[in-house]
Structure 1
Amino acid sequence: MTECFDCDNCKESLYGRKYIQMDNGPYCIPCYDAHFANTCDECKELIGHDCRELYYEDRHYHEHCFRCFRCDRSLADEPFTCQGKELLCNDCYCSEFSSKCIACEKTVMPGSRKLEYNGQTWHEHCFICSSCQQPIGSRSFIPDKKDYYCVPCYESKFAPRCTRCKKTLTKGGVTYRDEPWHKECFVCTGCKTPLAGQQFTSQDDNPYCIKCFGNLYAKKCSACTKPITGFGGGKYVSFEDRHWHHNCFNCARCSTSLVGKGFIPDNDEILCRDCSSDL
């Protein structure tokens, strides 16, 4: 007696017919397609057992329906991107959604290395220094109008140079006689003490600290012999070829201040009127 071999759904005999074996039993082709085939998300028709089926994000497609939404190119064996519910080939996606390199005007492909600045985009290898023409990459750069410079080239081309050492000033510095100096280069001509932030004066365009200037060039007080610099609000009195600090301009006998008063010179001394009348 012949064993029963029927479709598990329609119960028709499968002898001499194609069938598909499932876990719960064999199915004839029409029953298999009706019960187990997926519906194509594009054409909404069943994807038969003899069709190549493609699956993407819970959606099923016939191979011939899996195409770019813009150019209709088959995506079965091509890289693609999903924008919303639309499938796009790389070319169409880049043309519509990717930025273009400001230098070469070619599309900056998704995933490629790029640099963005001030609303503009470059391929990494296209963002080059306007002077040395080398790629700037991840290094610091300085914009100048429509040009971009690596730091060494910008400093060499535009940065001011120290009057003393002739090297570029990249930060800070001081200005003396409209010329730039490094702070560490702006020193007293005499003792080499840094003058940045300190009181100083000059002689023949050379800067000096107050102490050196006083010792080298300032008038000397005839009383105390110390320099008369005039700094710090210091005032002095001159008579003939002699000079005194205000607080040193006193009568040689009674030590009364003679500032604003009459006095009598007596050889190297100065006397008040009272002391001179006793002579």
Structure 2
Amino acid sequence: MEIWMRIKNMSTLGLLKSRVKMTERFDCHHCNESLFGKKYILREESPHCVQCFETLYANTCEECAKPIGCDCKDLCYKDRHWHETCFHCSQCKNSLVDKPFAVKEDQLLCTECYSNEYSSRCHECKKTIMPGTRKMEYKGSSWHETCFICHRCQQPIGTKSFIPKDNQNFCVPCYEKQYAMQCVQCKKPITTGGVTYREQPWHKECFVCTACKKQLSGQRFTSRDEFAYCLNCFCDLYAKKCAGCTNPISGLGGTKYISFEERQWHNDCFNCKKCSLSLVGRGFLTERDDILCPDCGKDI
């Protein structure tokens, strides 16, 4: 809420005595009564007696609803007018002349009454945040700008980024020093996201395949000798090749395979060379590098 000090004194109309000669006419512009020896007021260069001027032009006081006469100060704010004695706080009744004030629902309030009634209190020092002063707001709470500080270094946070923890606020450098885990790979703090592998923290961008260096976050991967590999690199480097289709047998995801005399086959590839009958769980014969079902083997 703003504080207003702009008060216009409307009582600048002088009360003059007539100096015209007795032989001349000098009458009120409105009622035509003679103004000789009487007080009068000029409006647009036309003289008016006091009564006519107040009837025609005097402003009405917002407080007492009476006209503000020529002999009174007229205090004005946003086209509203008050007698000097009527210009006071609507709660404590103290005069607001030459003092800062606030307006709430068309009511004049001194800064103290306004603060007690409407201003928020600082979450840190519990004191009122006065109207017109800068304040910081976060999750429904307010602070004086000088009270919104980092819990660790005690420096004002202002408009800089901060991280809340355990009902305390920390500037980013202090939070990283006190709480953030460090990446196993680059040794720098992990402030957002991150990956845990073998109970150790990594930045997502640091957790990559040992061979091709592609990020493994969100991808299927495996490991060998404590090093992580994407599936393609692991199969190319370490997986045994199927004797049937020559593709790698990864063994991942519960993949089943057949092993015989240092050769391996995918389950789907362990078939008779001649009739293609699956030999999984069946007896079979070998002819050099080929495997045969017993029926086909009879013809050998």
Q: TM-score, normalised by structure 1?
A: 0.73
Identity of aligned residues (%): 52
Q: Which amino acid aligns with 2:129?
A: V
Q: 1:13 to 1:261 in 2, by over 3 A?
A: closer
Aligned to 1:185: 206
C-alpha offsets along residues 220-249 of structure 1, whole Å, 9 cap, x if unaligned?
A: 66778875432366433234x623214665
Q: Give the equivalent residue in structure 1 for 2:134.
A: 113
Paired letter, 2:76: Y
Using the TM superposition, give the Cα deviation of residue 256 of structure 1 relative to its aligned residue in structure 2, in angstroms.
7.4
Q: Residue 263 of structure 2 aligns to which amino acid in structure 1?
A: H
Shift in Å, 1:150: 3.2
Aligned equivalents of 1:170, 1:128: Cα separation in 2: 20
List gaps (5 residues or longer) in structure 2.
Answer: 1-20
- Relative to the length of structure 2, the TM-score reads 0.69
Partner of 2:263: 243
Task: Pick closer, same or farther for the CA change 1:14–1:177 going to 2, 3 Å.
Answer: same
SS in 1 for 2:216: coil
Q: Which moved more, 1:74-83 or 1:184-193?
A: 184-193
Q: Which residue of 1 aligns with 2:23?
A: 3
Rate the CA distance shift 1:214–1:66 in 2: closer, same or farther, 3 A: closer
Which amino acid letter does the alignment assign opposite residue 262 of structure 2? R
**Counterpart residue identity of residue 14, structure 1:** F
Distance 1:88 1:207 in 2: 70
Q: How far off is 1:59 after superposition?
A: 4.1
* 119 and 187 in structure 1: CA distance in 2 versus 1, 3 angstrom threshold: closer
Q: How many angstroms does 1:141 deviate by?
A: 3.1
Alpha-carbon distance in 2 for matches of 1:42, 1:257: 104
Aligned to 2:179, which of 148, 158, 167?
Answer: 158
Q: Does 1:25 align with 2:47?
A: yes
Partner in structure 1 of residue 36 of structure 2 = 14
User: Which residue does 2:4 correspond to in 1?
Assistant: none
Matched position secondary structure for 1:126 = coil
- Alpha carbons of structure 1 residues 116 and 211: separation in structure 2 relative to 1, 3 Å: closer
**What is the count of residue pairs matched by the alignment?**
276
SS state at 1:202 partner: strand
Q: Which moved more, 1:152-161 or 1:202-211?
A: 152-161
- Give the whole-Å Cα distance in 1 for the aligned partners of 2:233 and 2:136: 55
- Report the AA paired with residue 167 of structure 1: K
State the alpha-carbon separation in 2 of the partners of residues 198 and 6 from structure 1. Answer: 102
Residue ranges of structure 1 left out of the alignment (5+ in a row): none
Aligned to 1:99: 120
Cα distance in structure 2, aligned partners of 1:166 and 1:25? 89
**What are the within-5 Å matches in structure 2 for residues 154-233 of structure 1?**
154-214=175-235, 216-219=237-240, 228-231=249-252
Q: RMSD value over aligned CA atoms?
A: 4.1
Q: Are the equivalent residues in 2 in contact too, given 1:39–1:61 (CA < 8 A)?
A: yes
C-alpha separation in 1, matches of 2:162 and 2:154? 13
Aligned to 2:95: 74
